[in-house]
Amino acid sequence: MVFKMHWADVIASRLKSSGGPHRIATGITPSGHIHVGNMREILTGDLVHKASLDADVDSKLYYLADDFDPLRKVYPFLPDHYKEHVGKPLSEIPSPGEDDGTYSNYFLDPFLGSVRSLGIEAEVLPSSISYREGKYAEPIKILLDNRDKVKEILERVSKRDLPDDWLPYNSKCPHCGRIDSTKALSWEEPYVHFKCSCGHEGKADTRTDDGKLPWRLDWPARWYWLGVTCEPFGKDHAAAGGSYDTSSEIMRSILGKEPPEPVVYEWIQLKGKGAMSSSKGVVVSGVDMLKMTPPEVLRFLIARNQPSRHIDMDPGLGILNLVDEFDRYEKEYYLNEEDVEEKGDRRRAFELSMVDRSNNGPIPVQVPYRHLVTLVQLVDDLEGLKAMVMRTEGISEMDEISTHMLQQRADSVRFWLDRFAPEMVKFTLFDEPPDDEVKNLTDEMVLSLRAMREDLPKIEWNAENIHHTIYEGSRARDINPKITFRSFYRILLGRDRGPRLGFFLSTMSRDDILRKLDITFDKIN
């Protein structure tokens, strides 16, 4: 059998062969809600980082927050008065929330909280602070001193024309606060002289945060001062003549270093809406994702897929399928069940998905998400839920880890039901069958329920036996089992469909189900 390496280990092995130390960088501009698609970048970086550490590679992970970028426009989620802030750095305009913080921190802070819950240990470097502390001063000087060569590379590689008097620096106007409305006039170390469209003229000190480099130069400059050796980034930057191509040539030809190992990733697409976009409001935020699934499941979503493969994200029923698949990987991992083709790859994907990788077993009690969707709508408290799980799953006891995981999953399912679940999976259980529902039962439906009143007291009360009894008892009386299913759903939920009936009935006591059947017959008579 051929052992298949996980993609993160393949990249880690390349990094190891090239020496070290290695500095893995990820980042984003916090201009809007940081969504699951954005999460792919930092999780990809973290998976490579952890795989590198496992391979005894000296590795460190950084998260670079481009909070010194300007606000590009008034996005759909912003009020109109933000027009006055367009062009100003995100770190220097007010929060769109009710807090007194900055625009960038409003979106960045909850994201960083999510990062910690995912088990990601990254050093966060806001670009506003890096510029202020002079980290960019040396590469800025080199690029300005070589502005003609920089201009030639940008025009040749990116196929665009730049003005003859172009200088690679965007000054921040102290009068209007904008960083996208100034024109660099001349370079006289350490100052760039500029004129702003507001009419102000002045000079920017390149050793601090008086301005910044354009993106295609900011990127290689940060590689230079931080010593980045590996970086995940979206496929848009990897296009021919794109940011990576220009930045790589500038890094080699002007800054004199090798560009980092690229890890190009595909988009996460929202089902029915295409690629996620913060500016367009097409998002499932990373914070929301971590409220509807345990953090290991979000890590798993990224770990199980090659970066070059796009991911279709369905926050509805697709979440149930995703957690089911995670549970299958978990079972394989702990029980050493072999997968003929991809045993090593699958085990490693699960291992890298774990927030706490110190737990080597035994396997925690697995409660399928689909079952929890039913259970949390029947009971509110943890002890009641735990008792119901133990009864329906045939478990004699549940340890502390399994209880904690049950609580975590129950909280996630409740959030999912409230925010993303389709109406078809939601229900309210009647204490007794309503008169209207009983009145509308057909003769065949009543016959099916009388048959079940006769058969259900005779069996051991578990989901499998109940399911078998409904099918076989109905067929033995020439009743379509679908009629029996529909009959139960009508008197219990007031609808034609519901949770898997065998499991659903098993979550309640036999006496309660028989009581509701007797009430139904009393109302008929």
Distances (CA, A) of 445 to 128, 432, 497, 510, 521: 69, 17, 14, 20, 12
Label residue 7 by pLDDT band (50, 70, 90).
very high
Label residue 303 by pLDDT band (50, 70, 90).
very high
Q: Per the structure block, which two tokens stand in for 119?
A: 């088990």
pLDDT value at residue 135: 98
Mean pLDDT, rounded, for 319-345: 79
The pTM score is: 0.89
404-439: pLDDT as tens digits: 889 999 999 999 999 999 999 999 999 999 999 999
Domains, the chain, with CATH or none = 1-271 (3.40.50.620), 274-419 (1.10.10.770), 435-524 (1.10.10.350)
Mean pLDDT of the chain: 92
What strands, in cross-sheet order, belong to the sheet with 230-234? 123-126, 59-65, 22-28, 230-234, 261-265
Distance from C-alpha of 277 to C-alpha of 73, rounded to nearest angstrom: 14
The number of beta carbons lying within 10 Å of the beta carbon of residue 199 is 9
> Is residue 497 within 8 Å of 458, Cβ to Cβ?
no
φ, ψ of residue 290 in degrees (nearest 5): -75, -10
Label residue 270 by pLDDT band (50, 70, 90).
confident
pLDDT higher for 134 or 390?
Answer: 134
> Is residue 210 within 8 Å of 178, Cβ to Cβ?
no
328-340: pLDDT as tens digits: 998 888 887 555 4
What phi-psi label fits residue 478: left (phi over 0), alpha (psi between -120 and 50 degrees) or beta?
left
Distances (CA, A) of 111 to 38, 39, 233, 238, 299: 10, 9, 18, 25, 15
Mean pLDDT, rounded, for 261-283: 74
